[in-house]
Amino acid sequence: MSTAIRNLTHADFRQRISRVDKRFHRLGEAAYAKDATVPRPFGSTLTGFAWIYVVVAVSTNRELIASSLRQGSLPAEYHDWIFNGLAAMIVASFVMLALHVFRYFVKSGGKRTNSGGVLVGAIGALVLFYAPSDVWSTGFGMLDGHSQNALMTAGAAIEGTFPGLAVQDLAFVSSAGN
């Protein structure tokens, strides 16, 4: 009995690869590629904080923006364009934030770290923006005497630099009055 020898074609090779390693057959070299994204958690956190703080400030201060536009020299027919652009920015920001949530749970390595930093910064901005002023005064009251004295000394130094500024009279509120 003789055996027939035939040359393997590329289709035979691909079929054999699909039996041995289905992931490599489907994705090619990208199946085992390492994530080369550089993790920058601090920069991502600052970016997420600034980004969401601006978005929330714009979305909650519509009347302030409208009065500023009325006082400016821009013709009234362009005001709608500006508000539509701001609305598009807000919607795009929430879509991007949802993509960062998805990326945090699906990806790994630097992509996950960077998205986590953006999400932590966003949460920090929301907490800072919506925290009532009672929380800040209660937090100051919870400090020990040394910490309160250090803050009051720093406040006195600022008052010396900026006359007429009373640090003890500062209240942490948003521009919406929260």
Does residue 16 lie within any of the structural domains?
no
Per residue in 104-138, pLDDT (tens digit) is: 999 888 899 999 999 999 999 999 888 888 887 78
Please check whether residue 122 is in contact with residue 48, taking contact to mean a CB–CB distance below 8 angstroms: yes
107 and 136 both lie in a single domain: no
Residues in the chain: 178
Residues 159 and 125 in one domain: no
Number of structural domains found in the chain = 2
Tokens found for residue 157: 């130094």
Is residue 10 domain-resident? no
Q: Report how far residue 35's alpha carbon sits from residue 23's, in angstroms, rounded to the nearest whole number.
A: 17
**So what's the pLDDT on residue 176?**
55
Q: Which range of residues forms the domain containing residue 142?
A: 132-171
